Amino acid sequence: MVRALTVLALLLCVACSREPRVRVGSKNFTEQLILGEIVAQHLEHRLGGHVSRRLDLGGTLLAQQALVSGDIDVLPEYTGTALTSVLKQRPGSNPAQVLSQVRAGYAKWGLEWLAPLGFENTFAMTIRREEAQRRRIATLSQAAASGSWRLGAGYEFATRPDGLPGLLRTYGLHLDGIPKTMDLGLLYQALMKKQVDMVAGNSTDGLLSVLPVRVLEDDRHYFPPYQCALVVRESAEREFPALRPALAELSGRISSETMRRLNYELDGKHRPAREVAREFLRSSGLE
């Protein structure tokens, strides 16, 4: 009898493992992990738990490949990143036009861009506040005219078409040696320890609200719009009719200030992403 029950339990587990699930993906940095958890938990509430997580996948191209190949069904992505790094098109400055371009470009893969989540995460060229005061600078043009800089950046920023090469051409920024590339989570630590003088951070980084730093104004508007939105496989929308309406509930729900606060909960207070996401959904009335 016991053996029969054991076999039955194993068969039920196998059946459960084969149950169709929406696979939520994310890239490998703080904001993406939080967004991935927000999406996954929200879908668990709306779809009755038919969700699996494929978070922390890697950089843009790895995450995009997972989306195109069908390894994941949903991915938070940024319009400027999609336009330049994925579609290899020239950056634009009009947010609505860029969104329209990426929607058209992703259609060839059967991927839909939903309405933006409500915030933009652009690059933030950041220096120590004391350095800004000493050199009397507030813009990237002023930084280019004030001498050389030891730069710290993430691995993608150093080579991507909307990253460092174009920034140097646009502003004539002078670097002191080759840029120090590192994980994004180490940038501000390196800046505050004076291992570098400037870092290529992100405008929604939680630490920007608590560290003595200054984000330099992109006064020549080099960086394109980076509205964050959810990209969804159309085949998954057909398989799960409740998927698209559920995801659409998240559009417009996350402001830049909110995203910065959520990021600080993880980066600054070292709270688990699942806990941060759960509190956001609860406070937003989405739980």
- pLDDT greater at residue 184 or residue 31: 31
Structure tokens at 102: 């990426």
Same topology, domains 21-120+226-283 and 123-215? Answer is: yes
The per-residue pLDDT for 209 is 85
The per-residue pLDDT for 93 is 87
Query: For the segment 126-169, what is each residue's pLDDT rounded down to a tens digit?
Result: 999 999 999 999 999 999 999 999 999 998 898 888 899 999 99
- What mean pLDDT do residues 95-102 have? 97
Determine the residue type at 123.
Answer: F
- What mean pLDDT do residues 90-94 have? 88
Q: Judge whether 123 and 203 are in contact, CB under 8 Å.
A: yes
Please check the confidence at residue 16 and state whether its pLDDT lies above 60: no
Determine the residue type at 31.
Answer: E
Please check the confidence at residue 15 and state whether its pLDDT lies above 60: no
Domain boundaries defined on the chain: 21-120+226-283, 123-215
Please check the confidence at residue 9 and state whether its pLDDT lies above 80: no
Please check the confidence at residue 30 and state whether its pLDDT lies above 80: yes
Residue 18 binned pLDDT confidence (cut-offs 50, 70, 90): low
- pLDDT greater at residue 241 or residue 18: 241
- What mean pLDDT do residues 115-122 have? 96
Kindly indicate whether the domain formed by 123-215 is annotated with CATH number 1.10.3720.10. no
Query: For the segment 212-232, what is each residue's pLDDT rounded down to a tens digit?
Result: 999 999 999 999 899 999 999
3-state SS of the chain? CHHHHHHHHHHHHHHHHCCCCEEEECCCCHHHHHHHHHHHHHHHHHHCCCEEEECCCCCHHHHHHHHHHCCCCEEEEEHHHHHHHHCCCCCCCCHHHHHHHHHHHHHHHCEEECCCCCCECCEEEEEEHHHHHHHCCCEHHHHHCCCEECEEECCCCCCCCCCHHHHHHHHCCEECCCCEECCHHHHHHHHHCCCCCEEEEECCCHHHHCCCEEECECCCCCCCCCEEEEEEEHHHHHHCCCHHHHHHCCCCCCCHHHHHHHHHHHHCCCCCHHHHHHHHHHHCCCC
* Predicted TM-score (pTM) above 0.85: no
Kindly indicate whether the domain formed by 21-120+226-283 is annotated with CATH number 3.40.47.10. no
Determine the residue type at 49.
Answer: G
In the chain, what percentage of residues exceed pLDDT 70? Answer: 94
Per-chain mean pLDDT for the chain: 92
The per-residue pLDDT for 11 is 43
d(CA 137, CA 81): 28
- pLDDT greater at residue 92 or residue 262: 262
The per-residue pLDDT for 10 is 43
In the chain, what percentage of residues exceed pLDDT 90? Answer: 85
Query: For the segment 193-219, what is each residue's pLDDT rounded down to a tens digit?
Result: 999 999 999 999 999 989 999 999 999
